[in-house]
Amino acid sequence: MWQRIQTLFLIIVVISLIGSIFLPIWYFTEASGKKHALYALHYTTKEASSNGETRVSAYMPYSITAMFAVAGATVAFISIGKFKNRYTQMKLGAFNSLLIAGTMASAVYFATQLSKTVGGGAFSLGLWLPGAAVVCNLLANQFIRRDERIVKDSDRLR
């Protein structure tokens, strides 16, 4: 299981999706010092005041991105354990591609909506990690298909 290259790619998928939950997707600092940050779990605004820092967080609907990311990481982890059944692994890989695409789509949607509302901002690493997960998931699927072809070819020779 661990010696197969697709297992390493699937581990990278899990790590990048979990990392995207905790890293900011988008951030913006206004001239007044008010800070906006979008994470996969929540949207936070921080404002410095005379009696300390005021922090306001909103979880819904922004946590949909985290739900997609957790589902994608879980499917990739389950796919690692299904190394004996390559057809199931290919189906899980295709389903995982849809989950990761949902993660990316919801992150981009919420970030652009906030960017329009606030008037600027910059994308951060939390948005780009699911892109790396897509690439690694596609490579894992390619190597799973290659293994299946090798097994079919060896069965034909027997």
pLDDT tens readout for residues 120-138: 888 999 999 999 999 999 9
Is there a domain that residue 34 lies in? Answer: yes
pLDDT in tens, 34-57: 899 999 999 999 887 777 777 888
Is there a domain that residue 154 lies in? Answer: no
Is there a domain that residue 78 lies in? Answer: yes
φ, ψ for residue 51 (rounded to 5)? Answer: -105, 25
| Token pair of 45 as six digits | 């605004």
Is there a domain that residue 10 lies in? Answer: yes
The structural domain count of the chain equals 1
Closest CA to 40 of 72, 11, 10: 72
Is there a domain that residue 134 lies in? Answer: yes
Q: What is the mean pLDDT of residues 70-86?
A: 93
The pTM for the full model equals 0.87
pLDDT in tens, 5-29: 899 999 999 999 999 999 999 999 9
Is there a domain that residue 153 lies in? Answer: no
- What residue numbers bound the domain in which 77 lies? 5-147
Is there a domain that residue 135 lies in? Answer: yes
Residue pair 40/65 in contact by the 8 Å Cβ criterion: yes
What is the domain-level CATH number for residue 134?
1.20.140.150
Is there a domain that residue 157 lies in? Answer: no
